[in-house]
Amino acid sequence: MDSMLVIKDIWKIYDIGGEKLEALRSVNLEIEKGSFISIVGHSGSGKTTLLSVIGGLTEPTRGNVSIEGTDVWSLNDAGLSALRNEKIGFIFQFASLIPTLRVVDNVALPVIFHKDNHGDVYGRAEKILSALGLSKKLNSFPSELSGGQQRRVAIARAFINKPAIILADEPTGDLDAQSESEVMDFFSEINEKEQTTFLLVTHNMDLAGMTDRIYHMRDGALLD
Amino acid sequence: MRIYHVALKEVSKRKIRTIYTAIGIAIAVSMLISVIITASSGEVEIFRVIARYGHSLTIMPAETKSQQSLKTFGIGTGSYIPEDAMPNIEKTYQKAIVAGWEKMGQLTFQEGTIGGAAFPPPTFAPRLYEEATVKGSDVIVGGVMLEKELISRFWWEISEGKFMANDDEVILGKLFAVITETKVGDILEIGQSKMKVSGILNETDSPDDYMVFMSLKTCQKIFGKHNKISMINVRAMCPKCPLGDAAIAINKEILGVRATSQSEIATAQSQIFQKTAALLLSFVVASLIISAIGVFNIILGSIHSRLRDIGLLKAMGASRSQLIRLFLYEAALIGITGGIIGFAIGTGLSYVIGPILFKDIVIRVNPLFFLMAIILGTLTTIAASIYPAIYASKIKVAEAFKSL
């Protein structure tokens, strides 16, 4: 099968007041297209930093990341923006909606940055929101939603540009057990139907248990 | 949805920030608009005043130096212009004025119209001066065409009685009336004629105060000066009229006369007004710069408070140019709002300030001023937002997301 993500010897070292902090230590990973995997670890183990490096948000100290054969960190700013917009769907661990936009606008937002800004964007947004149980909240503003609803809107937004890979950081953090289950079912459905690759980082072992493969992280190192 | 939709929603949802920022711009724009409207409306008023009173030409008989030395205050007797030369003088004058305008290449000359504003035609007021002895006092008698004289000597006012209405009536200068103890209704013997005093002028602080005025025809008849006049006073009735050209043309083409332009003071007044308006505008521009600095601070502060949003937009794939566009669209919308508010306030202010500065001013609001207010407001906010927008576009996602 084709490789979706290849990580080679990634290091991320922070210099904090002259003291070197190794957030990532020689991380290597190869994920095939359509994989549904999770990385678990305690807080501070480097999960979020790894996700950030993979997604082109934090530059590694050294090492390579390639997504569908594209060397992420050899791209210029415009190239990185296009990669994030077209191939990656981010789900952050905090409520990450634009407060001045309606729910449906928030979901449609990444499309305006897409080079091919056409088609029935709002129809697609409504469809995804409906699948996540938010069909009655399309015109609401984020401040009118509960934390769990906001989280589901952010999840819906990650899928609007039909990304090749979803990078999710504690994607069900604000959700109750039932909503968590519904969201994971939605992920599985997309994974199966569209061969979208999922990389979830979490400290929730139950959530990780729903994925096809679990990796562990400890002190910046990735363990099988 | 497009980037400007996001900007529009951001601006419309954050009403307080938008209004707060727009008011800063609106104040500066309103000052500018009020100065421009008041100055332009006032300038028209000043032009009208200058047109009526300021620009004049004096045409007198060409004389030898010895003849000139005999005269005081530019009036005197003994040399004349034929009255029937007046049409030729008027024709020469008009021709020179038209040629002068065309030479300046500024305006297309139309009868009674200068630069789109209507002005009355020039006034040619002839006078005949003769010496006489009235009530035992030597005095200069002036024959005038009253209707034209009242335009030429706009400051003339009657203190007692009324202006002469018949050929056997005269009006007196105040000083002459006081010295000779003459009153309205008295009969004066001038030459061989008996003339009734119909009125006495207010003091003018000019030679007119010690003169007797009657109709030109009567004066010519009494003193046997048929078809003779001593001088012509020309009121140009238009601002910036090329009177110098007219004077040169008359001196060159009409034999026996000397035309002198008195437009310098009016021109100087007009220039002083324009310089004052320019000075005011420079203050306003300074206030616009101060407003721009205020907008700069507000936008920069807004960017700091929206760091997470900016990081989010970048994570979603917004490029640097797209982020810059987003912030500049927001700035433009705030600038347009400020421009509209500023225009409304500025127009209102000019209706308050205008009448205080210029009596009888008619406030003229050119639609271009509205466009100017919007463009100015927009350009100012955009200029003030360029650095903050570039700064925002350079923010690293990881720095914006402390949680990542």
pLDDT (tens digit per residue) in A177-220: 888 888 888 899 999 988 999 999 998 888 888 899 999 999 99
pLDDT band at B239 (very low <50, low <70, confident <90, very high): low
Predicted confidence at residue B133, as pLDDT, reads 92
Query: Would you call B320 an interface residue with chain A, using a CB distance cutoff of 8 Å?
Result: yes
pLDDT band at B221 (very low <50, low <70, confident <90, very high): very high
Predicted confidence at residue B72, as pLDDT, reads 47
* Inter-chain residue contact B398 with A121, CB threshold 8 Å: no
Which residues in chain B are closer than 8 Å to A99, comparing Cβ atoms? 13, 309
Q: Which helix (H) or strand (E) holds B67?
A: helix B65-69
- Of A52, A73, A96, A138, which to mutate for an interface test with B (greatest number of B Cβ within 10 Å)? A96
Predicted confidence at residue B55, as pLDDT, reads 64
Query: Would you call A98 an interface residue with chain B, using a CB distance cutoff of 8 Å?
Result: yes
Question: Mean pLDDT across the stretch B41-65?
Answer: 71
pLDDT at B262 > cutoff 80: no
C-alpha span between B317 and A54 (Å, rounded)? 14
More confident residue, B107 or B96: B96
Give the residue from chain B lying closest to A55, CA to CA: B315
Q: Which helix (H) or strand (E) holds B387?
A: helix B367-394
Strand partners, A62: A11
pLDDT at B108 > cutoff 60: no
- Is A125:A160 a contact under the CB 8 Å cutoff? yes
pLDDT at B65 > cutoff 70: no
Query: Would you call A52 an interface residue with chain B, using a CB distance cutoff of 8 Å?
Result: yes
Q: Which among A123-132, B57-66, B76-85, B294-303 has the top mean pLDDT?
A: A123-132
* Inter-chain residue contact A93 with B403, CB threshold 8 Å: yes
* Inter-chain residue contact B316 with A92, CB threshold 8 Å: no
Predicted confidence at residue B404, as pLDDT, reads 39
Question: Mean pLDDT across the stretch A123-144?
Answer: 91
Query: Would you call B13 an interface residue with chain A, using a CB distance cutoff of 8 Å?
Result: yes
Which residues in chain B are closer than 8 Å to A161, comparing Cβ atoms? 317
Mean pLDDT of chain A: 89
Which residues in chain B are closer than 8 Å to A85, comparing Cβ atoms? 316-318
Q: Mind giving me the DSSP string for B263-288?
A: -HHHHHHHHHHHHHHHHHHHHHHHHH
Q: What is the nearest CA distance from A20 to chain B, expressed in angstroms? A: 18
* Inter-chain residue contact A113 with B14, CB threshold 8 Å: no
Predicted confidence at residue B382, as pLDDT, reads 93
Question: Mean pLDDT across the stretch B174-202?
Answer: 93
Q: Which helix (H) or strand (E) holds A94?
A: none
Q: Which among B70-79, B108-117, B382-391 has the top mean pLDDT?
A: B382-391
* Inter-chain residue contact A81 with B13, CB threshold 8 Å: no
pLDDT band at B338 (very low <50, low <70, confident <90, very high): very high
Which residues in chain A are closer than 8 Å to B318, comparing Cβ atoms? 81, 85, 113
- Count of CB atoms situated within 10 Å of the CB of B17: 18
- Is A92:A154 a contact under the CB 8 Å cutoff? yes
Give the residue from chain A lying closest to B399, CA to CA: A58
Predicted confidence at residue B160, as pLDDT, reads 93
Question: Mean pLDDT across the stretch A127-148?
Answer: 90
User: B285-298, pLDDT tens digit by residue?
Assistant: 888 888 888 888 88
